[in-house]
């Protein structure tokens, strides 16, 4: 017996393309761009203490995907085949719940980080031999 008002997960999953993004994100607004950049690296937190939240199938999928190492936000979106905006909203909800560890990208090329550029340059030169 399916609980009233709670769609069967299989249905949600199959109807992915027909579900408006705010349904998947449970009405959460799409987060600020600054919270998760395309190249913010994400993995699951090892600390399993408080996980009171009931997770959606999409959130479960993302957690499982992130459990084996670091992936960028863009990679998570590509592998899960969900739109970027939706993935960012799900990630921000998971991060709030303490499920994720994130590593922010170098904030900006400006003011220019010369040491960083040197390191990128050296890395590329090593590939060009």
Partner 1 sequence: MASRLSLSEDAYVPSGAQQTAVKILVVGHFAVGKTTLISSLSEITPLSTEERMTTLSERVDDLKGVQGKTTTTVALDFGRLTLSERIVLYLFGSPGQQRFVSLWDDTARGALGALVLVDPERLADSFDVMDLVESYGLDFAVAINHFDGSTVHTPEEVREALDLLPDTPVVTIDARDEKSSVDALITLVRYLHERADLEHT
- The DSSP string of 19-43 is S-HHHHTTTPPPPPTTTS-TT-EEE
Q: Does 103 bind partner 1 (CB under 8 A)?
A: yes
Contact between 101 and partner 1 per CB under 8 A:
no
Nearer to partner 1, 23 or 74 (CB): 74
State yes or no: residue 19 binds partner 1 (CB under 8 A): no
* Least gap, CB of 18 to partner 1 (angstroms): 14
Closest alpha carbon to 96 in 66, 55, 61, 64 = 55
Tokens of 100: 């994720």
Q: Kindly state whether residue 37 participates in binding partner 1, applying the rule CB under 8 A.
A: yes
Give the residue, chosen from 11, 22, 26, 33, that forms a contact with partner 1 under the rule CB under 8 A.
Answer: 33
At 110 the three-state DSSP class reads coil
What is the number of alpha carbons within 13 Å of residue 70 lying toward its C-beta? Answer: 10
Q: Is 23 in the site for partner 1 (CB under 8 A)?
A: no
Q: Which residues, in sequence order, are CB contacts of 97 under 8 Å at separation 6+?
A: 50, 51, 52, 53
For partner 1, the closer of residues 47 and 121 by Cβ is 121
Q: Which stretches of the chain bind partner 1, using CB under 8 A?
A: 9-10, 13, 21, 33, 37-41, 57-58, 60-61, 64-65, 68-72, 74-75, 77-80, 83-85, 103, 105-109, 111-114, 116-128
């Amino acid at each position: 017996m399916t609980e009233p008002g709670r769609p069967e997960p299989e249905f949600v999953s199959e109807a992915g393309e027909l579900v408006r993004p705010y349904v998947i994100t449970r009405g959460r607004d799409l987060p600020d761009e600054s919270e998760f950049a395309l190249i913010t690296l994400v993995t699951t937190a090892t600390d399993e203490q408080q996980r009171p939240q009931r997770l959606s199938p999409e959130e479960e999928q993302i957690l499982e995907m992130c459990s084996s190492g670091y992936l960028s936000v863009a990679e998570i979106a590509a592998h899960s085949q969900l739109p970027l905006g939706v993935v960012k909203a799900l990630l921000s909800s998971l991060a709030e719940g303490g499920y994720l560890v994130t590593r922010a990208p170098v904030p900006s090329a400006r003011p220019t980080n010369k040491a960083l550029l040197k390191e990128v340059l050296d890395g590329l030169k090593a590939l060009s031999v």
